[in-house]
Structure 1
Amino acid sequence: MKTSKSTYLKMITMLAALVILISGCSIGSMPDSGTTDPANGQKLKVYFLDVGQGASQLIVTPSGKTMLIDAGNNDKEQVMLDYLKKYHISKLDVVIGTHPDADHIGGLDKVIDNIPVSTIYMPKVQSNTKTFESLLKSIKNKGLKVKTAKAGVSWDLDDQVHVEMLAPQGTYEDTNNMSAVVKVTYGNTSFLLTGDAEAESEKAMIASGADLQSDVLLVGHHGSNSSTTQKFLKEANPKYAVIQVGKDNKYGHPKSAVLNRLQKQGVEVYRNDSQGTIEFTSDGESLHIVTER
């Protein structure tokens, strides 16, 4: 009986091993239960940085290419450097100063002073402010040559990340309408980043036949009544909108009329003043959103 029992146990053990082998459920093929994202390296990150009553967007591509659009006001210089350190940005492949307003380019001089920059774009518009002069000085000191930001300029920031400038379409007296408007597309997801472009520029973009449809819209001019017209919003048709605005700002941004338009169209709104930095992650098909608070 002892021998028979021993043989029986051996048969059971061999049978169990055979079942495991056939099913492929070996330890080495079990799903990774760690915290590493299996799709890591295949995602686009777009950060709408909280710089108070100003604007700044940081784009990091799947392969680690970087683009910074604007950098908040003069008093946010250290804040910007801290953000770049936080997100492990050691170089910037592209920098875009949308237009000369201090709340958009105020921090760019220190960024350029401290972080290697490969390419910089700015629209052909001048300003006699110390902020603008300081930026030009930093650009000169680093031996950079400014490329013109205008409609029709486009490039691939990464294998699947396409950047296209949709504005300015022409020359305008109002520097806000000279804002570089940038569309970033990754797979089937897209971001429309509008600077301070106002109704005149929006009308020109629509007339140009540019593809304005986007999943995420940066609401123009911090939610001012001068921007995000009904026609432009209809053309963009975003699922999400971000308003870069500071707490208790003297301008009363964002305006209720703009918020009402966004609500009527069913757009989900995010704001820096109430939620801090807003981070969008795209896998090319869907978006994941994380807010600082």
Structure 2
Amino acid sequence: MKRFLLKNQKFLYILLLVILFTTLLVSGCSFQTFPETGKTSQTQTGDNLPEDRSLPSSSSLLEVNFIDVGQADSIFIKFPEGKTMLIDAGNNDDGDKIISFIKKQCVKKLDVVVGTHPHEDHIGAMDDIINTFNIGKIYMPKVTTTTRTFKDVLISIAAKNLKITTAMGGMTIPVEDDVKVEILAPNSAHYEDLNNYSAVIKVTYKSTSLLFTGDAEKLSEEEMLKLGFNLRADVLKVGHHGSSSGTSEEFLSAVSPKYAIISVAKNNDYGHPHKETLRRLAAHGVKVYTTADNGNILVESDGKNIRVGRVN
């Protein structure tokens, strides 16, 4: 009888260890993996995801996550020393998805939050984000709307006694020593089209850089070119979900990206990304990846090399 109990105690002990280990795996930080093969996008002009690049440990990496929020934008950035940034927050019903994604990275504070412009597909879940996480600074362009979505964002900001820093071209956002974060647009006080108020952000980590354009269209692009901003970037977040109203030939030539990411929904009502935009990107030899075909997209940089992959 004693032997039987000892045997079963040993079995139960091992079983408990297995359960505990499994629980930790499920509840802990998500491990960002790069599968050997990725789904080929019908609109891709480059290789399948992911690319085969050898990068050092994650402690020295800039990690840029393009969260798949359908016909909307949401980009979560983790800087090499651990600071964080969120650019846009999808539609109103994307809150749970974005919050879950960020929490999986074991993040409790967003040091910088940028609402590129007050369209619902960019600030829809911003109030949920602000209500959930500790927030450092919030940047938004100086433009208002009368929508319920915009009012909800303002209410959440006020409830936490936060203030909005006006995003304008020529500003820098202090984050970490090895990283430079610049605001390149908007550059005028008034635009007819709300899209052109978009805060355009350039993130430079050592010799690599990424350009995030919100929904900026040709007029904003022309202003940035005229002002002589350094637009050169390895990765371009294509403006306005790949609409032909932006990513002009002159702008694309100035950016000269190797990779382009388009945040877009499959079979959307707008026909995004437009064929004209894809043709221009293809003519420049840019490798294009869409969230519609690849889901969440992760771009990593060690300051010298760029790696593009998928993450759950």
Bigger radius of gyration, 1 or 2? 1
Describe how 1:38-49 pairs up with structure 2 within 5 A: 39-49=57-67
Q: TM-score, normalised by structure 2?
A: 0.81
2:56 and 2:75 mapped to 1: Cα distance? 26
Is the CA contact 2:297–2:309 (under 8 Å) kept in the aligned structure 1? Answer: yes
1:181 and 1:61 mapped to 2: Cα distance? 18
- In 2 relative to 1, CA 174–38 (structure 1 residues): closer, same or farther, beyond 3 Å? closer
Cα distance, 1:292 vs structure 2: 4.0
**Residue aligned with 1:238, SS:** coil
- Partner of residue 97, structure 1: 115
- Partner of residue 260, structure 2: 241
1:38 and 1:192 mapped to 2: Cα distance? 23
* Identity, % of aligned positions: 49
Cα distance, 1:40 vs structure 2: 3.6
- Partner of residue 207, structure 1: 226
Cα distance, 1:39 vs structure 2: 3.4
- Partner of residue 126, structure 2: 108
Residue from 103, 121, 145 that aligns with 1:85: 103
Q: TM-score, normalised by structure 1?
A: 0.86
1:76 and 1:122 mapped to 2: Cα distance? 20
Count of residue pairs brought into register by the alignment = 257
- Partner of residue 146, structure 2: 128
Residue from 159, 163, 166 that aligns with 1:148: 166
Residue from 70, 74, 82 that aligns with 2:88: 70
Letter in 2 for 1:125: V
| Higher RCO (Cα < 8 Å, 6 or more apart) | 2
The answer on 1:250 being equivalent to 2:269 is: yes
- Partner of residue 6, structure 2: none
Cα distance, 1:288 vs structure 2: 1.2
2:197 and 2:308 mapped to 1: Cα distance? 30
2:282 and 2:249 mapped to 1: Cα distance? 12
1:38 and 1:280 mapped to 2: Cα distance? 14
Instruction: Spell out structure 1 runs of 4+ moving beyond 3 A.
Output: 37-40
2:229 and 2:94 mapped to 1: Cα distance? 34
Cα distance, 1:75 vs structure 2: 1.1
The answer on 1:269 being equivalent to 2:288 is: yes
The answer on 1:193 being equivalent to 2:212 is: yes
Letter in 1 for 2:241: H
1:6-43 CA-to-partner distances (Å, cap 9, x unmatched) read xxxxxxxxxxxxxxxxxxxxxxxxxxxxxxx8634111
1:174 and 1:288 mapped to 2: Cα distance? 35
1:80 and 1:96 mapped to 2: Cα distance? 14
1:133 and 1:156 mapped to 2: Cα distance? 28
Cα distance, 1:77 vs structure 2: 1.0
- Structure 1: state its 5+ residue gaps: 1-36
- Structure 2: state its 5+ residue gaps: 1-54
Is the CA contact 2:243–2:274 (under 8 Å) kept in the aligned structure 1? Answer: yes
The answer on 1:279 being equivalent to 2:263 is: no
Is the CA contact 1:275–1:292 (under 8 Å) kept in the aligned structure 2? Answer: no
Taking only aligned residues, the RMSD between alpha carbons, in angstroms, comes to 1.1
2:70 and 2:268 mapped to 1: Cα distance? 9
- Partner of residue 42, structure 2: none
2:271 and 2:114 mapped to 1: Cα distance? 27
Letter in 2 for 1:104: H
The answer on 1:51 being equivalent to 2:69 is: yes
1:135-184 CA-to-partner distances (Å, cap 9, x unmatched) read 00000001101000010110331110110000001121211000000000
Is the CA contact 2:173–2:183 (under 8 Å) kept in the aligned structure 1? Answer: no
Is the CA contact 1:277–1:291 (under 8 Å) kept in the aligned structure 2? Answer: yes
2:114 and 2:58 mapped to 1: Cα distance? 27
1:103-150 CA-to-partner distances (Å, cap 9, x unmatched) read 000011000001010100000000000000000000000110100001
